[in-house]
Structure 1
């Protein structure tokens, strides 16, 4: 298997993020957009639903709910949108009519959508053949032309249960056609801001694979080296799992796990494949932790000499969304849980680094490549560079991932310490 093309972007554990996560502007102050915010729940259990797609049908405008089911989306008035559409794995889609004024504290309920795939289909499906056919159809199902994605990117770092760093940015993502490799795909930071803990004891300089360039390197449909290289599919054992509905379309679910030992770590996970088009809609995967030394070598780029780094769990979620008959990158979530301790000290400290990127708009015509000198390079860290892109009017009409209440409280607490 080829070397994984994961970014060597530093996440410095003295992180950063925006200074005021909950600051939003009223849509009726001449801003030219209507803002809708609220929470999404399961109709039966009343449980809040995280990572629900929230979009304007017929457009490329969208966002996603946070871990607590909260969302906020700004819809340009000029498009005269009639409704939002909310979709989630295993649920019926739900439409929310848009009124001609801001709508806050809205609660949207989604109804579970159980699908019963015929047993004969499950038994007859050859999972590795199915994955191979889906790979061969990428050139048909995914974008055949260059496009520019606008995305919202956020990093948060927690030390034990407390946030010590938050950073976020509006990014532009230049994508070449899916028939090409990722070498010419580029990220540009449009604007950003940061917030970090003022406590000296919260500073821990550790560089991990991550950062805004995850939007390039975790695009597993295009970056085949992650898991979809036909020549190395035999590294994994595949099996058919229970079918699910995504966006009211039935999907095959293919589980996979390593069946060989390599010098580098492999993955465990699931692939979600549209039954009709064979487009990849989603992947959930995590590093196999059987050999943690291999995992450390894959994700740890730099640390102090006398610091011991112990990975606990590293997981990824990548989703795609249909637009104009093609499948586009939609959402990426990366979570690192690890422990650090200094030699000769008795106790270790738990850390978690969460990175999220949601595509909020897609431009397909008149797309120009991001110049190399303006691109955000993988050798850089957002925490190092975000101050270069600071804009006090950060929010404006850009769509974001709504911060969780705990994150909002963390931001307020850190601001008070300044």
Structure 2
């Protein structure tokens, strides 16, 4: 297979960092172990963030404790869980969502549970758009990428992040893994890669729902970390490949009184290799990328399969039907930093001796929940870092301790995930009893 040079670079980057792996089912059942944590002094608040007019949940809305770097994000049902240290001097929570007016909510007005925060749509004046609109969408994207060193964090930063990956067979959750990790974020101007250190992790897997193969995601938190396109532009818009895309203005929105242009991009029709299509959200005045949502254009399923499938049984054909990415950035003191990213993949598994396909979906997401300046600038030693080949489901144990996460902010589990955990635990207990 012959690939053009720009795509060859992308192929090499993706195939070494982001792919799924099929292996034979492990013998036996997963074991669950409890972790014990000490008592932590914090206040906990949960609830939902919704659209003020429609009452629909706002997915991936950000909640930040004012004056701190503590934050969390709403899940796919608009629910949130926020933990605030009792010794914090903060009095407000800042709630923001793309295209909506940011709201400041006093902590004193929040209840421990069932809070409902409504955000109003931010309206943009058409006259303002016509006056200030740049003429060349690609030029705006290139200028934004060129101003990376100026607009994004220039100091080494130690971030605390929550990571979750979910594997489903059709609509049933069959494998869940979660972790708290430390990210040693290097400056955006630096060519050094970020390093990730695993603090603690947990999992639950029901192998009985996985047919005769177990689908595993290799790369763990790195799958989401490398979606930070401002730190790693070579995985999306390398200098050699940006000309393979066409860019166009789509619409504009307002975020915190800043005018944001939505730039659509897609590969040119004559480019046959699988590249990307999606939307870039750019602050026009500051030339900063605030968010990006994009997906792989699967024009050739065999080429796409080579990108993501590392290993599979001989009589099984596996290919991706959808691969989607999202990254959100946050602003602090005039500088922007990586705040959240996700990767969603759907695969079809075709057995040579079966009439029907199996459909699996895998989702990985990571949210920065706290950060501080890494004054020393040191990175952890190689033996302390998690490897880019990590399979989180193999590293993690235990969903049994309700206080496992202590004071750490996590993304509130969806109801389907909570239900899946209970079902998987019951299945594992039945299997253990039957094997005794």
TM-score, with length taken from structure 2: 0.87
Aligned to 1:161: 171
Alpha-carbon distance in 1 for matches of 2:399, 2:50: 36
Aligned to 1:314: 323
Is 1:205–1:303's contact at 8 Å kept on the other side of the alignment? Answer: no
Alpha-carbon distance in 2 for matches of 1:52, 1:187: 25
* Pair 1:395 & 2:405 matched: yes
**Secondary structure of 1:302's aligned partner:** coil
Q: Which of 124, 127, 132 is the equivalent residue of 2:137? A: 127
Alpha-carbon distance in 2 for matches of 1:65, 1:375: 29
Alpha-carbon distance in 2 for matches of 1:204, 1:248: 51
**Secondary structure of 1:410's aligned partner:** helix
Is 2:341–2:365's contact at 8 Å kept on the other side of the alignment? Answer: yes
Alpha-carbon distance in 1 for matches of 2:260, 2:417: 34
**Secondary structure of 1:271's aligned partner:** strand
Q: Structure 1 residues 351-360 or 367-376, which shifts more? A: 367-376
Alpha-carbon distance in 1 for matches of 2:398, 2:57: 37
Aligned to 1:113: 122
Corresponding pairs, count? 411
Aligned to 2:372: 363
Which of the two has higher C-alpha Rg? 2
Alpha-carbon distance in 2 for matches of 1:109, 1:274: 24
Q: Which of 312, 319, 323 is the equivalent residue of 2:332? A: 323
* Pair 1:352 & 2:361 matched: yes
Alpha-carbon distance in 1 for matches of 2:422, 2:400: 19
* Pair 1:256 & 2:265 matched: yes
- In structure 1, list runs of 5 or more residues that go unmatched: none
**Secondary structure of 1:79's aligned partner:** coil
Alpha-carbon distance in 2 for matches of 1:235, 1:17: 46
Aligned to 1:275: 284
Alpha-carbon distance in 1 for matches of 2:204, 2:356: 27
CA RMSD, aligned part only?
2.9
Aligned to 1:45: 54
Deviations 1:88-146 (A, max 9, x none): 11111112211298621101111111213435347642111101111111000111121
Is 1:91–1:113's contact at 8 Å kept on the other side of the alignment? Answer: yes
Aligned to 2:159: 149
Aligned to 1:408: 418
Q: Which of 344, 353, 363 is the equivalent residue of 1:335? A: 344
Q: 1:87 to 1:65 in 2, by over 3 A?
A: same
* Pair 1:31 & 2:40 matched: yes
Alpha-carbon distance in 1 for matches of 2:123, 2:30: 39
Alpha-carbon distance in 2 for matches of 1:193, 1:244: 39
Matches of residues 194-205 of structure 1 in structure 2 within 5 Å? Answer: 194-199=203-208, 201-202=210-211, 204-205=213-214
Alpha-carbon distance in 1 for matches of 2:211, 2:333: 47
**Secondary structure of 2:225's aligned partner:** helix
Aligned to 2:80: 71
Query: Offset of 1:417 from its aligned partner?
Result: 1.6
Query: Offset of 1:410 from its aligned partner?
Result: 1.1
Is 2:20–2:308's contact at 8 Å kept on the other side of the alignment? Answer: no
Q: Which of 223, 226, 229 is the equivalent residue of 1:220? A: 229
Q: 1:111 to 1:242 in 2, by over 3 A?
A: same
Q: 1:38 to 1:258 in 2, by over 3 A?
A: same
Alpha-carbon distance in 2 for matches of 1:389, 1:184: 32
Is 1:265–1:298's contact at 8 Å kept on the other side of the alignment? Answer: no
- In structure 2, list runs of 5 or more residues that go unmatched: 1-5, 429-436
Matches of residues 60-99 of structure 1 in structure 2 within 5 Å? Answer: 60-99=69-108
